[in-house]
């Protein structure tokens, strides 16, 4: 019997690497390690309710948010795997106060650092809605052979080498971007491999959905309120009124936006001028992915990836998605 050829994540990244004669294969092996952590998290997610993984852990993180058991599990899975990987010099995580430099000879000689939101969409864990893991990979700027430093972790998003996410949804997918483009791999549970299912993903130039926490309208600026009126206006030939879709897991809202087009917004408001989402763990990686797919990501006054980070856990407003829709929203928000 003939089997159709499956391309695994590993095979794909190695094929991509071969396009660059000077590449050493370290990025491929890093992506494999992140995929492995994703499979461990996936195993827990798929058994949630049967094993003791739902609910709060009983501590708060550096941003004052209460941590869920799955936040901790995912964070530890990523840290443990990357620590023993030969290709990662250190990590920074939404759940850790400080970055972590892996202090062994292999790691000190590694050229990459990884930043991640180990579990995105914590509030959706207990209700069986889609959640995810978001990651961002930079080439370090500090001296090889020594432990990595804070400068390696606070580079602007436009220096990312790769970024991606794993979505634990109705299926589990690994989506990652390099400057060559964006590709999606679906986990085939029977063989435990991520297999290429969405080659060369492109974000449509326009879409039918807007996505934001509309319950916060009273805190939004006049410009934002005018934009919401625009989204709800009846203009059939322009797809309006747009449908409102908001899951409350950035990964899930962005996955839809990438595939179907649309706009996702987490604006600054009167009480939080920089909004809620984190530049290094959420906004930069999503901006890199969406831009590699032809979309746009702005903080309202410029590109997300041009922001020069001043601290690891800083937040930024974000307008991201289909090119035409983001540009229109920015006309209002300015
Ligand atoms: P996290 O679970 O990593 O803390 O992230 C939650 C984020 C993001 O996933 C989502 O887009 C946003 O919080 C939702 O916030 P609101 O509940 O304020 O709408
Ligand atoms: Mn998050
Ligand atoms: Mn998180």
58: pLDDT confidence band, cut at 50, 70 and 90? confident
Q: Are strands 318-321 and 263-266 parallel, antiparallel or unpaired?
A: antiparallel
The two three-digit tokens of residue 183, written as one number = 């590709």
Are the C-beta atoms of residues 304 and 287 closer than 8 Å to each other? yes
SS3 183: strand
Name the band, by pLDDT with cuts 50, 70 and 90, for residue 185.
Answer: very high
The arrangement of strands across the sheet holding 263-266 comes to 243-244, 209-211, 263-266, 318-321, 296-298
Q: How far is the CA of 193 from the centre of ligand 1 (A)?
A: 29
Confidence class for position 1, pLDDT limits 50, 70, 90: low
How many Cβ atoms are within 10 Å of 143's Cβ, its own excluded?
Answer: 10
pLDDT(2) > 80: no
Q: Quote the pLDDT of residue 171.
A: 97
Of all protein residues, the one whose alpha carbon is nearest to atom 16 of ligand 1 is 248
| Closest atom of ligand 1 relative to the 63 alpha carbon | 4
Six-digit token pair at 187? 């986990």
Q: How far is the CA of 122 from the centre of ligand 3 (A)?
A: 6
Residue 146, pLDDT > 70, answer yes
The mean pLDDT value for 103-124 works out to 94
Instruction: Compare 126 and 141 and report the one with higher pLDDT.
Output: 141
- How far is the C-alpha of 278 from the C-alpha of 291, rounded, in Å? 18
Taking residues 87-103, report their average pLDDT.
96
Mean pLDDT of the chain: 95
Query: Among 3.40.640.10, 3.30.1360.40, 3.40.190.80, 3.30.450.90, what is the CATH number of 209-333?
Result: 3.40.190.80
For atom 18 of ligand 1, the residue with the nearest CA is 213
Mean predicted confidence (pLDDT) in 7-16: 95
Task: Provide CATH code, domain 9-198.
Answer: 3.30.540.10
The reply to whether ligand 1 has any atom less than 6 angstroms from the CB of 269 is no
What are the domain boundaries of the chain?
Answer: 9-198, 209-333
Query: Is pLDDT of 119 > 80?
Result: yes
- Given pLDDT bands bounded at 50, 70 and 90, which one contains residue 60? confident
Q: Looking at residue 3, what is its pLDDT?
A: 66
For the ranges 61-70, 78-87, 144-153, 157-166, the lowest mean pLDDT is seen at: 61-70
Answer yes or no: is pLDDT of 235 > 70: yes
- Which ligand sits closest to the CA of 119? 3
% of the chain surpassing 90 pLDDT: 84
Same fold, 9-198 and 209-333: no
């Amino acid at each position: 019997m003939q089997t159709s050829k499956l391309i695994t994540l590993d095979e794909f990244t190695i094929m991509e690497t071969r396009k660059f004669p000077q590449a050493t294969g370290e990025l491929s092996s890093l992506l494999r390690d992140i995929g492995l952590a994703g499979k461990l998290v996936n195993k827990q997610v798929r058994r949630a309710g049967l094993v003791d993984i739902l609910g709060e852990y009983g501590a708060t993180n550096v941003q004052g948010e209460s941590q869920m058991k799955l936040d901790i599990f995912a964070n530890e899975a990523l840290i443990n795997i990357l620590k023993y990987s030969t290709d990662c010099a250190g990590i920074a995580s939404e759940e850790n106060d400080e970055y972590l430099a892996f202090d062994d000879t292999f790691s000190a000689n590694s050229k990459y650092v990884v930043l991640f939101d180990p579990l995105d969409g914590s509030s959706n864990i207990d209700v069986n809605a889609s959640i995810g893991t978001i990651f961002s990979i930079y080439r370090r700027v500090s001296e090889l052979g020594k432990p990595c430093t804070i400068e390696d972790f606070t580079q602007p998003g436009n220096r990312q080498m790769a970024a991606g996410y794993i979505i634990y949804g109705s299926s589990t997918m690994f989506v990652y971007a390099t400057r060559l483009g964006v590709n999606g791999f679906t986990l085939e549970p029977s063989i435990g491999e991520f297999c290429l299912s969405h080659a060369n993903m492109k974000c449509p130039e326009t879409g039918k959905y807007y996505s934001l926490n509309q319950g916060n309208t009273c805190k939004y600026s006049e410009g934002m309120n005018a934009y919401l009126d625009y989204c709800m206006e009846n203009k059939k030939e322009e797809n309006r009124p747009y449908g409102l879709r908001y899951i409350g897991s950035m990964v899930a809202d962005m996955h839809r936006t990438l595939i179907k087009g649309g706009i996702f917004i987490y604006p600054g408001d009167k009480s939080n001028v920089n909004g809620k989402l984190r530049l290094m763990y959420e906004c930069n990686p999503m901006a890199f992915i969406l831009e590699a797919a032809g979309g746009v990501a702005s903080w309202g006054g410029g590109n997300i990836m041009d922001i020069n980070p001043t601290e690891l856990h800083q937040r930024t407003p974000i307008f991201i998605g289909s090119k035409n829709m983001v540009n229109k929203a920015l006309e209002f928000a300015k």
